Amino acid sequence: MDNIYFNGMSFYGFHGVFAAEAELGQRFYVDLELSLDLSKAGASDDLNDTINYAEIFTCVQQIVEGERFKLVEALTANIAEKLLRQFPLQEARVKVTKPNPPINGHYDSVAIEMTRKREDYAQ
């Protein structure tokens, strides 16, 4: 299996348990590792034989910026599910980083990472 990586995508979203988080919003970072067979695209050099990176970005952007979740876990799971349903992926590893959660202490960020497979969403 082959992989496509998206690193450090940055979005402004309104996710969190506390009212101030949902009202003020904050930056979220998303990293993806998408698994699929890229052999045909490697041989053909044709965009139609792979996934369009811009469409992946837009899909994630619409979720992070257009929807609201209390938990980063729910946001992460939703991204993985929509990617697997919308694109011909075998597996999606999604990491969402929340740099400024309301925690009293010193830290760089918190992050949730989930790996989901196509068969998790078989119909």
Cα 101 from chain centre: 18
**How do beta strands 91-98 and 110-117 pair?**
antiparallel
> Maximum CA pair distance of the chain?
53
For this structure, is 98 an active site residue? yes
Comparing C-alpha atoms, which of 98, 90, 110, 92 is closest to residue 1? Answer: 90
| HEC readout, 73-119 | HHHHHHHHHHHHHHCCCCEEEEEEEECCCCCCCCCCCEEEEEEEEHH
Active site residue: 40, 82, 95, 98, which one?
Answer: 98
Catalytic positions: 98
